[in-house]
Amino acid sequence: MSQHKPVDHFETCNFNARRNKAKALFSLQGILFGLTADKVLNETEVIFLSAWVMEHKSCADDHPDMVDLIDSLEDIFADNKVSQEELNDLLGCIECILDYGLLASNEVEDLTNELLGFVSGITADNVVTREEILGLSQWLKSNTNVTKTWPGNILNTQVQDILEDGVVDDHEITEFTETLKMIAGQQFTDTGLAHGMATEICTTEIHELAHDIETICFTGKFASGSRSTQEEYAKRHAIKPVKRVTQDLDFLVIGSLASPDWRFSSHGRKIEQALENIMKGCNTKIITEDNWVKVTR
């Protein structure tokens, strides 16, 4: 009889903590690329960076470059003023970090987190420039693996369309900015929070449950009852609850209490898998908890 090594929950928790820290650092790496894509920093972008770093300060515990970055940010805000000299010094610090690299990306998941960070960086001040679009284009050309999955495929197609005629007009920038903000969930200038909640880009509103719905999956935390409660409502409507997102899935329901850092969690992975289904032409739909409650209660 074969012996199975018991699961070490402490070891698993440590692995998850390390993995989440790595994902956050990849996101930061992308943010730094995005913030400096136009080779300048403004005060709003510096405040955004400071807010992000403070929200993820544990990432700096054992990373010398991050410690230097935090020191630079604290120096800037010591007198509640941001001088051009301080902006230039911070820009130099960021460029040093990017030259050395926080982490080396070797998986599509890592690159996707870096790309989402890049998008957050260039939308932080609510303004996207031609230089930032060109910077994003160059990043996508250097990381072609990420253009085969969401959101790299969407961004790559739109960037190519914008740059095809060699002219980037105001209308194209405005439309692309909205796409970028939806993907990043970026509302920093409205909320003052440096994290995003990008789930709204992918949801569909339904007005009734069709009779041919067979499977449903729930992700996140729900204000209207536990996940098992949601599954019971699904069963009452003859819909089978499943734990995983497959290409045959009909509905993915997103809980309204989902973590702002959804892309660092299994919750985010389910959303990405459902988005991949949609891009492949599958019949999967993503709906919000509010919409689910309306059609089932």
Is 263 a residue whose pLDDT tops 70?
no
> 215 and 179 in one domain?
no
When pLDDT is cut at 50, 70 and 90, the band that residue 19 belongs to is low
Cα separation, 81 vs 107, whole angstroms: 40
> 153 and 45 in one domain?
yes
> 131 and 269 in one domain?
no
Question: Tell me, what's the pLDDT at 199?
Answer: 45
Rounded to two decimals, the pTM is: 0.66
Is 6 a residue whose pLDDT tops 80?
no
Question: Tell me, what's the pLDDT at 7?
Answer: 45
Q: Is residue 246 assigned to a domain?
A: yes
Q: Is residue 263 assigned to a domain?
A: yes
Is 143 a residue whose pLDDT tops 90?
yes
* Mean of pLDDT over the chain: 81
Provide the 8-state DSSP code for 254. Answer: E
Q: Is residue 2 assigned to a domain?
A: no
CB 53 within 8 A of CB 67: no
- Choice between 3 and 44, residue whose per-residue pLDDT is larger: 44
> 271 and 189 in one domain?
no
> 191 and 252 in one domain?
no
Is 147 a residue whose pLDDT tops 50?
yes
pLDDT tens, position by position, 157-170: 999 999 999 999 99
Question: Tell me, what's the pLDDT at 12?
Answer: 43
pLDDT tens, position by position, 194-206: 555 444 456 788 9
When pLDDT is cut at 50, 70 and 90, the band that residue 4 belongs to is very low
Question: Tell me, what's the pLDDT at 2?
Answer: 43
E strand map for 133-177: none
* Burial classification of residue 99, based on how many CB atoms lie within 10 Å of its CB (0-12 exposed, 13-18 middle, 19 or more buried): exposed
Q: Is residue 96 assigned to a domain?
A: yes
> 233 and 187 in one domain?
no
Cα separation, 221 vs 253, whole angstroms: 10
Which CATH number does the domain housing residue 252 bear? 3.40.50.10190
Residue 292's identity, in one-letter code, is W
CB 205 within 8 A of CB 287: yes
> 204 and 150 in one domain?
no
CA distances from 202 to 145, 220, 286 (A): 22, 15, 7
Question: Tell me, what's the pLDDT at 268?
Answer: 66
Question: Tell me, what's the pLDDT at 13?
Answer: 46
Q: Is residue 4 assigned to a domain?
A: no
CB 64 within 8 A of CB 152: no
pLDDT tens, position by position, 80-99: 677 888 888 888 888 888 88
* Burial classification of residue 266, based on how many CB atoms lie within 10 Å of its CB (0-12 exposed, 13-18 middle, 19 or more buried): exposed
- The whole-number average pLDDT for the span 183-200 is 56
Question: Tell me, what's the pLDDT at 190?
Answer: 55
- The whole-number average pLDDT for the span 253-264 is 61
Q: Is residue 49 assigned to a domain?
A: yes
Non-local (6+) Cβ contacts of 111 within 8 A are 26, 105, 143, 145, 146, 152
Domain that holds residue 210: 200-296
Provide the 8-state DSSP code for 60. Answer: G
- The whole-number average pLDDT for the span 196-218 is 79
pLDDT tens, position by position, 61-70: 667 777 888 8
> 145 and 114 in one domain?
yes
CB 167 within 8 A of CB 205: no
Is 155 a residue whose pLDDT tops 60?
yes
- The whole-number average pLDDT for the span 124-143 is 94
Question: Tell me, what's the pLDDT at 284?
Answer: 93
Domain end position, chosen among 162, 196, 230: 196
When pLDDT is cut at 50, 70 and 90, the band that residue 186 belongs to is low
Using alpha carbons, select from 18, 34, 22, 19 the residue that is nearest to residue 184.
34
Q: Is residue 164 assigned to a domain?
A: yes
When pLDDT is cut at 50, 70 and 90, the band that residue 154 belongs to is confident
Using alpha carbons, select from 189, 195, 216, 168 the residue that is nearest to residue 258.
195
> 222 and 89 in one domain?
no
Q: Is residue 1 assigned to a domain?
A: no
Question: Tell me, what's the pLDDT at 52?
Answer: 83
Is 188 a residue whose pLDDT tops 70?
no
Question: Tell me, what's the pLDDT at 105?
Answer: 72
CB 272 within 8 A of CB 150: yes
> 89 and 34 in one domain?
yes
Q: How many distinct structural domains can be found in the chain?
A: 2
What kind and span of H or E run contains 288? Answer: strand 285-288
CB 133 within 8 A of CB 159: yes
Is 189 a residue whose pLDDT tops 60?
no
> 224 and 188 in one domain?
no
> 209 and 160 in one domain?
no
Cα separation, 102 vs 264, whole angstroms: 17
Domain end position, chosen among 171, 196, 221: 196
Domain end position, chosen among 147, 163, 196: 196
Positive or negative torsion for Cα 290, 191, 202, 24: negative
